[in-house]
Every structure is written in structure tokens, then in C-alpha cells.
Amino acid sequence: MPSISVIVPVHQGEAYLKNCAESVRMQSFQDWELLLVDDGSTDASPAICDECAREDDRIRVFHRRKSSGTGEARNLGLREAKGEFIAFLDVADRYEFQALETLWSLQQQSGADTVGCAHLNLAADGSKTEVKLLEQGVYDDAAIRERIVAPLLGDRLMPPVFNGSVWRYLFSAKVIRSSHLSFQGDYRADELFVMEYFCNAKKLAVTEQVLYRFFLNPSSRHGYQKDFYATFRRFMERKEALAKQYDLEGLRPQWQENNNWVGLLAAVENEYSRENPIPVRKKQRAVEELCRQEEIAQAIAAITPQGLHPRRQMAANLIKGGHFFTLTQMYRLQFGI
């Protein structure tokens, strides 16, 4: 049984896949298995996956005929993983050379069921930003609840927003399986998975050492999603169920309003997308109707967002003031609709 299972969802990843797999193969720590889950790719990714497996018998490949999304690809990896600990790696990203060794050694020294690290954001223009998970140290379940679960529950609107990505951790396979954890959908699925996992984990060890390279891709903006708000409501239903199951509501009393503002701002940008084929006036009416939804209207009344990205801050101000015509003109200028 390998010590660590590394799960990589692969969809149209031919440009990155070899380097991604090599960043695992070249690790200073070698007791691992790599699970490449080809999620219905139509490019050269399936062939590259198979080539990687032929070169190293620690690499296993799973092909899906049709794409079901990153979450389902990760779930397949979780079902097939044999390791004592689970790590997630995105196909466009890389590990630092000593990543798995550092995480494994920290786990062995601390006895923690989970280990986390800092990561490096790499932009297309070559700029780099180091991002800490938390201050270096060991956190018990009470500290985990306050420093990770609470921010993931409710601090999602105004900066700084806690990063909920799964690739920052070495997870206990035992905790995942005993708690019956899986990814639900793709929209903010990492956030829900990490939040629920840490409702069940007992001890977290953190290093401030940068072990993961995350490549920011400005061309990866999602296009128009016809049923975006329905997708967001399903996400909120899952989050509400977790909050009730683990008795989290008291951690952040306005957590629902906070999340609903996030969903509203995303829904507004989606509605005004140039890929949305309906006329501009219908887009405005759809936004106005959205703001009259009970849960959204309650969020607008309860919270005044501050410190957002300039465009979102302006949108929030206009929504708060009911200036929907001006909001429409702003997006007409910015999106060219």
C-alpha cells in the first residue's frame, strides 16, 4: 500500500499533463501512486495518460467516455485510491520537488491527521505571489473550527477570503472514508469538501513552506451558464445541510446573507455576459427579479459589501441603491453588450 495517493483529474490537458505527472515522478519522496482520471478528454490527453502509465507502474489511469466534471473525476480517484493519505493535484499545476516528502515528514512528526502548506500563484505575466494557508504550527479541532470551518462557512464576500482549494492539503484517507465524504457537483465543490472534512478532522499541521505551484490562467473564465442561479441554490442547499448537520450556524450568524451576496454578484455578471443571447433590457429585468428573491433581498438589506474588486464593488453599490439602469450601463461598457 502506498503512503500517498495523488489524484489528478484530466480534461483537455494535453499541454500540461506530462509536466504535471513529471512533478510527481521527480519527487524526493517516492512512496506514492498517481491516479490520472481522464474525464472524457477529446485531445491527446488519453494517449498521454497511457504513456505515463507505461513509463511508471505507480501510475494508474482511468478513462471516462464522457466528461462528468472535476468533482466526479476526483470521486472516482477517491474510490480507487490505495494510499494512507490523499493529495489532489490539478493538471495545469506542479509540485515543488520536496512537496510530498515535506508533507509526509510533517505528518509523521506531528501525528496530525491532516497537513497543509503554502502555495505560489503564478500569473501569465510572470509575476509570483506566495500565499500562506495559516501560520506555521499545529491546530487542534477547536482551532480548526475557528480558523478554517468558520471562514469557509461565512467569510466568503469581503477580503481576505480564505482559499478553500483541496490541493493545499494532505488528507487522511481514513477520515474521508469514515465520514463518507465526496465532491458534490463542481460549483465551489472544494469549499464544501474542505469544510466538511475539517468538521471531522481532529488535528492539522501547517508549514509556511511553498510546496505547490498554482498557475493562474486569465483565459479560463467560464462562459455564460443558463441555469447559474439554480446551480448556486443547489450549492446553498448543500451548505445549509452541512451547517445544520455539524451545528455551525453560530460560528457566523450572517453566513447565509454573506454567501447569497457572493452568489448574487456572480449571477449578475453571468446575466450580463455577452454570451447571454437575450436583449439587454431583458437582462436588466432578470437582474431586478433576482434581487427581489426573498433570500437575496434579505442579504441586500442586511449587508453592505466593502473592499471588493473595483468592478464588483461598483456593482454592489448600485444593487444596494437600486440603480439597475446604471448597473446595466456599467456592464454594457465593460462587457461590450
- Whether 74 and 9 have beta carbons less than 8 Å apart is answered as yes
Please tell me the predicted confidence (pLDDT) of residue 223.
79
| Residue at 2: amino acid letter | P
Cα 325 → chain centroid: 33
Please tell me the predicted confidence (pLDDT) of residue 320.
98
Contacts of 245 (CB under 8 A, 6+ apart): none
Please tell me the predicted confidence (pLDDT) of residue 220.
52
- In angstroms, the CA 115 to CA 106 distance is 7
Successive 10-residue mean pLDDT values, the chain, 337 residues? 97 96 98 98 97 98 95 98 98 97 98 98 93 98 98 96 97 98 95 98 98 80 84 98 97 97 97 95 97 98 96 97 97 84
Please tell me the predicted confidence (pLDDT) of residue 321.
97
CA distances, 284 to each of 313, 328, 332 (Å):
18, 6, 11
- Whether 202 and 156 have beta carbons less than 8 Å apart is answered as no
Neighbours of 26 (CB within 10 A): 11
- In angstroms, the CA 330 to CA 322 distance is 14
Please tell me the predicted confidence (pLDDT) of residue 30.
97
- In angstroms, the CA 300 to CA 294 distance is 10
Closest-CA residue to 1 (of 166, 168, 116, 173): 173
- In angstroms, the CA 226 to CA 26 distance is 43
- Using alpha carbons only, what angle is made at residue 179 by residues 175 and 185, rounded to the nearest 5 degrees? 110
- Residue 104, all three cell numbers: 509526509
Residues listed for the chain? 337
Calculated CA dihedral for residues 70, 72, 78, 79, nearest 10 degrees: -150
